[in-house]
Amino acid sequence: MPGVFQYYDKVVRGTEREDMQVILQFLQGMIGQTFSFLNYYKEIPVSYDATLLSIENEMAEFSVHEYQAKVVNLEKKTLIHSHPLNSFPEDMIGEAFYVSSAKKRVILCNFGYAHIRSDMRKFVRVLLDNPIEADLLFEEDIIKGNVNDISLGGAAVSIQTADLLVPGLDINVFLKLPELNGNSRQEVGLSATIVKVVGTCAPYTCIIEFHPEKHSQQLIAYYINQRQVEIIKELKDINA
């Protein structure tokens, strides 16, 4: 599963050690205050309030939501939104030293500054356990691929050839969305633009931006909502 590192840029103000000391000093004066944690589970943001309980041996103990603890345990770190009482408003990141979802406790260490990039997302994105089949239609060719993650705004498609994939090129796409019963698929056609191609060898990842008309958009939105429900149920069932 993608780690939290995809969603932020590391920021170093002094040295990493100096930054950690400044953050710990700030946290020392914030015991009892509430912070907002952010993690991702299969591209779904998991963000609940966390209360700072204590600072000891360069570690900070927080009381957290059970779901947050589960995802912190998976990612081994968490992002912390900047706090209004901080004189240097900056997002932070901390590594997990101890996590218990049963006790709803997290102890973090190795703090640093971060700039959270994922807040700029326009659409909720979901990661797919079972990829969706997709056909990318060019003037005289069809490239078959598998959608690994999808939002209302676009998708990441895994493909075996990048020969025809030119960023900025408009194409038609057919997605084969599975029905809820799992026994059939609904084909959804829409126009799209190739944004970029990632990778130096197969399989490549082709990032496409959707331009759906209303009916296609509704079908994709319905599928994404169902996938969100599945992911949240999975999160509830995790034992951590």
For residue 79 the two structure tokens come to 């992002």
The structure tokens 């969603």 sit at 7
* CATH no., domain 126-236: 2.40.10.220
Strands (E), 47-125: 49-56, 59-63, 77-80, 91-100, 105-116
Count of alpha carbons within 13 angstroms of residue 75, beta-carbon side: 29
Classify residue 7 by its DSSP letter: G
Alpha-carbon distance of 61 to 2, in angstroms, equals: 25
Q: Determine if residue 104 is left, alpha or beta; phi over 0 gives left, psi from -120 to 50 gives alpha, anything else beta.
A: left
Model pLDDT, residue 5: 43
CATH 2.40.10.220 location in the chain: 126-236
Write down the architecture of domain 4-120 according to CATH. Beta Barrel (2.40)
- Three-class secondary structure of residue 158 per DSSP: strand
Model pLDDT, residue 163: 85
Model pLDDT, residue 4: 42
The predicted model scores a pTM of 0.78
Model pLDDT, residue 1: 38
Q: Which strand (E) or helix (H) includes residue 21?
A: helix 16-28
Under-50 pLDDT residues of the chain? 1-5
Neighbouring C-beta atoms of residue 106, cutoff 10 Å: 26
Burial 53-75 (b: 16+ CB within 10 A, else e): eebeeebbbbebbbbbbbbbbbb
